[in-house]
Structure 1
Amino acid sequence: MKNEFIALIILFLLVFCQSRQQVTENISTIDSILQVNVTSLLENKLSELDALSGQAIVMEVQSGQIKALVGLTKKDSTNYQPCENFSVWQSTGLMHPISLLAALETGKVKLSDKVDTGNGIYQVQGRELKDHNWHRGGYGEITAQEGLAASSNIAIYKTMEKAFGDNPQTFFDLLANMSYGKPDSINGIASLQPYKITEKNITWNCIGYEQLISPIQVLTFYNAIANNGKMIQPQLYKDSVVVINPQIASRASIDSLKLALAFNITDGLGHPAKSDKVLVAGMQGTSSLSTNEDSTKGMYAVEFCGYFPTDNPKYSIIVSINKTGLPASGGLMAGDVFRKIIVNLKQN
């Protein structure tokens, strides 16, 4: 009888511990007030732009805990509804800093290097690589850092050319070593697919084309930059911190890139994301989503990704909006939402 009683106590303790563990695993990381506020901010911008869809994600830098996860899609001409679009694959306009980080890792380039972007149109492999201001005559000679701040495709490509020369495979190897495109899965986000290169061509890959990636995977990389190179698994349920990559790049390269991302806010096209409450760092991007299908004609992704405060980052944020037609500006459109989210976080 005594043994049976002891066995019952042990069984009870086991069940109790398991249930406690299950409850712990299911505690959401989402801040409900922030979620509501970010939803409102994103919805207002989507309505203003008459955009097709959008998402905004706020993550804690050191823990990877997601504090807001908002996805919206157009319901009718005036309304938007929540949607689970977090696994959507597409090209990204936020690749420039990632490519520059890979180039810095080779030791062959510096942010102060001069780059001649000419008149904003550069012939590569029989195709035209253009800067957004090509119709105004381009940027001419600028530094690599200024090229990043100007979202210059040509400056980034020429920097990559100098770093990787005739061995573009080194670039793709570095991306893999830096865990770009991770994670392959996140508990609570259905159907998240591994990052995919559709065609290995450094010219277009280095500016975000001919690859498929979801915004939360891009955010994971930027969060690693904010975290001095340590890449953390994003999580929607409170658990212990999971490290994907303890150091994606050398501290020297990370520090250089962080300076460039801060410069982009103060002196570059990221200026609309600037906050008078706190110093921020980040990058804007605009990419064409047009394919041969009529349904994607004239479609653009406008994005902004960054973190704050710059000296000791607490949060990283990505805003990604899909819209039809021009104008399309990652800084002016997504960057504006980014800035407003920061104001909201500072008030809480």
Structure 2
Amino acid sequence: EVQDVATTSLENMLQRHNCDWGVAIVMEVETGYIKAMANLTKFKDTKGNISYRERMNQSILTRTEPGSTFKLASLLAAIDDGLIDITDSVDTGDGTHQFYEETMRDSDWKEGGLGTISIQEAFEKSSNVGCALAMQRAYKKNPQQYLDKLSSMGLYNPLNLNFKGEQPPIIKSSTGDKRWSGVSLTQMAIGYEVQYSPLQTLSFYNTIANNGRMMKPLFAQALSRRGEVFQTIEPEVLQEKILSNSTIRDAHITMKGVVERGTAERVLKNDSYSMAGKTGTAWAAVDGSYINKKYQASFCGYFPAEKPKYSCIVVVFNPQNGVYYGSALAAPVFKDIADMMYAKEFFKSELVSEKIVDTSLPASKDGHQSEITQVYNDLGMNYSSSSQDASWVFTETGDTQVKVKPKTIKKDVMPYVVGMGLKDALYLLEAQGLRVNISGHGTVKKQSIKSGTSLANTSLVSLEMSHNN
């Protein structure tokens, strides 16, 4: 089931944004067992039809500059070395800063930047300038100490997967390297001048979720022949402790902040369970240059945040429909996977411990069919679906049965989002490239653009919710 959701959600996102390829990986935190791995690459047939197929194991074989997901490693190195604290302040100014000949910009620099903020806020808001200045403050006098610390954290090593083609990360080990320059420290701080595979990045985040214990990723728990198990595969520790307990605690605090207050808030924050992680948006180099403006969007994290059970990474490469942030492309796929796993493993166990007195059917918001029917199944509710293939649906709740009917979604056409929860509505609208103004909270009550309207010349829509703030 996890593999199906990971593949389906990822494929839908890739198709919607005409991406080159994407991956989604789920790992069990304590053991390192891989629970799902989806690798989808664009394929165009002789008639020009585009589909996505498992053509290459991008999760293991493809190394790219991770961008902002690497900020976690940089900041934790400096924190563990005792050189900075998450409560320290950093002046990001107007969101731009000159490092030698390079001008670094934050995503909101056109709006005037964030000014003076804490290092924790710089991480939560993914401020390039803030994170780079923090690392410059920590390691300017001795950048070799930064490289040595990253090495001690296991970030230079392959994962020893015994997979043909697996390679170690690409990362400078010495400031004496001929490729080292005046901007290398601040570029590495924000995830450039390094290259990791998606699984290597996930392994590091899984280690943080596992309180600093690095596990080898494993693709099977046992080997069998003719139905008989002849070898069990036990969890394997690659490094017992990569960081101190206090540094790990700061990592949990800052990654929860990304979801609760930062770049992933609008997509991942919810009242049912907690998640933690980091968004990533990076320019993708083509032939050593960024002039083509290809982007890589990612989200890496774990759930539940208080006692992590699973870690997950989603990477989407070269979206071509104008939307390229990790919060808009990768985080929703992460959410689909996490919601399904939480509903199956955690929510259901909570339900059986409660005595349900009210036997009437509860009303349901419109939304994603797989999520809605999963909850119906867990609750033992009677429902019927007129289209099992539909991704998005609306519901009609009767006295004894809920009817689930398909909701039509067309590209560049305003969808009908009245009756949906805010997060599902935002997912659909932002996927259409729209900016959304929101008034209130709850369920969508009114939308400023009539459903069915062409969005060719529209960039903003307003939603009125069922409850005022």
TM range (shorter): 0.7 to 0.9
Separation in structure 2 between the aligned mates of residue 37 and residue 324 of structure 1, nearest angstrom: 21
Q: Larger RCO: Structure 1 or Structure 2 (Cα < 8 Å, ≥ 6 residues apart)?
A: 1
Larger Rg: 2
Q: Which amino acid aligns with 1:329?
A: Y
- The alpha carbon displacement at 1:236 in A equals 0.5
Match of 1:79 in 2: 51
Range with greater deviation from structure 2 (168-177 or 191-200)? 191-200
- Aligned-pair CA distance for 1:211: 1.2
Equivalent residue letter for 2:315: S
State the partner residue of 1:302. Answer: 297
Q: Shift of residue 345 of structure 1?
A: 0.7
Shift of 1:216: 0.3
Query: Once the 2 structures are TM-superposed, how far is the Cα of residue 267 of structure 1 from its aligned partner?
Result: 0.2
**Residues 65 and 296 of structure 1: CA distance in aligned 2, closer, same or farther (over 3 Å):** farther
Query: Is residue 24–residue 38 contact of structure 2 (8 Å, CA) maintained in 1?
Result: yes
Check if 1:318 corresponds to 2:313.
yes
Q: How does 1:116-131 map to 2 (within 5 A)?
A: 116-131=91-106
Gaps of at least 5 residues in structure 2 are 173-178, 222-232, 345-469
Q: How does 1:102-141 map to 2 (within 5 A)?
A: 102-141=77-116
What residue is the counterpart of 1:195 in the other structure? 169
Cα separation, 1, equivalents of 2:156 and 2:39 = 20
Residue 116 (structure 1) shift: 0.2
CA contact (8 A) 2:17 2:323 kept: no
- 1:248-259 aligned at under 5 Å gives the runs 248-259=242-253
**Of 6, 13, 18, the match for 1:45:** 13
Say what the alpha-carbon RMSD is for the aligned residues: 1.7
1:298 Cα deviation from its structure 2 partner: 2.1
Number of residues of Structure 1 aligned to a counterpart in Structure 2: 315
- The question of whether the paired residues in 1 share the 8 Å contact of 2:17 and 2:319 is answered with no
CA distance in structure 2 between the aligned counterparts of 1:237 and 1:313, rounded to whole angstroms: 21
Distance in structure 2 (CA, Å) of the matches to 1:60 and 1:296:
39
Question: Which piece of structure 1 moves more, 299-308 or 324-333?
Answer: 324-333
For 2:131 and 2:337, locate their aligned partners in 1 and report how far apart those are by CA, in whole Å: 29
1:90-131 per-position Cα deviation (integer Å, ceiling 9, x unaligned) = 100211111110110121211111100011110102111111
Match of 1:64 among 32, 51, 57: 32
- Cα distance in 2, alignment partners of residues 343 and 294 from structure 1: 38
Q: Gaps (5+ residues) in structure 1?
A: 1-32
- 1:284-321 C-alpha deviation (Å, 9 max, x unpaired): 01010133469982211100000011111000000000
Report if aligned partners of 1:144, 1:159 keep a CA contact under 8 Å in 2: yes
TM-score if structure 1 supplies the norm length? 0.87
Q: Is the 8 A contact 1:289 1:296 kept in 2?
A: no
- Normalised TM-score (structure 2): 0.65
CA distance in structure 2 between the partners assigned to 1:332 and 1:182 by the alignment: 31
| Greater share of helix | 1
Cα distance in 1 for partners of 2:103, 2:287 equals 18
Could you tell me which of 157, 164, 178 is aligned with 2:153?
Answer: 178
The aligned counterpart of 1:285 is 280
Give 1:162 shift: 1.9
User: Separation in 2 of the partners of 1:59 and 1:193?
Assistant: 20
Contact 1:183 1:233 in 2 (8 A): no
**Structure 2 match to 1:219:** 202
